[in-house]
Amino acid sequence: MKGTLELRELTVAINTPVGLVLIVGCSHPGIEEILSTASAMNSHVHLLLGGLHLVKTPDAEIERLTYALHDKWRIDRIAPGHCTGEPAFAKLKQVFGDSYLYAGLGSRVDIP
């Protein structure tokens, strides 16, 4: 998904001994674009945390993107945030299983 290119985005990439920790705001350019750019630093993403901007995304695209995050990008752990949307939360939890972390207000996510 290309995203919303007219909106600015802020992403924090922390290179840790176990891979990148990416903290995204709302993924306006599209999460795959962010991952592609961040992979220049380290191609292994240990944790993706934040909004994925999928709240109005069709189910077929949510399905494609979820499997891309899991199988192509091989993200170890995912903690989606507010603008990800309920259908995407459910699909990500189904596909990532125990590697899915709830990232709501008051949640604690340990960063290595």
SS3 35: helix
79 inside domain: yes
Tell whether 68 is covered by a domain: no
- pLDDT of 24 reads 94
Q: Is residue 82 part of a domain?
A: yes
- Per-residue pLDDT for the chain (112 aa), expressed as one digit of tens each? 455 556 678 899 999 999 999 999 899 889 999 999 999 999 999 999 999 999 999 999 999 999 999 999 999 999 999 899 999 999 999 999 999 998 888 888 888 7
Domain assignment present for residue 47? The answer is yes
Q: Which domain holds residue 43?
A: 11-56+74-99
Neighbours of 89 (CB within 10 A): 18
Residue 46 within a domain? yes
> What does the radius of gyration of the chain's CA atoms come to, in whole angstroms?
13
Structural domain contains residue 1 = no
Cα dihedral sign for 97, 11, 29, 68? Answer: negative
The answer to the question of residue 35 being in a domain is yes
Residue 30 pLDDT: 92
The count of domains in the chain is 1
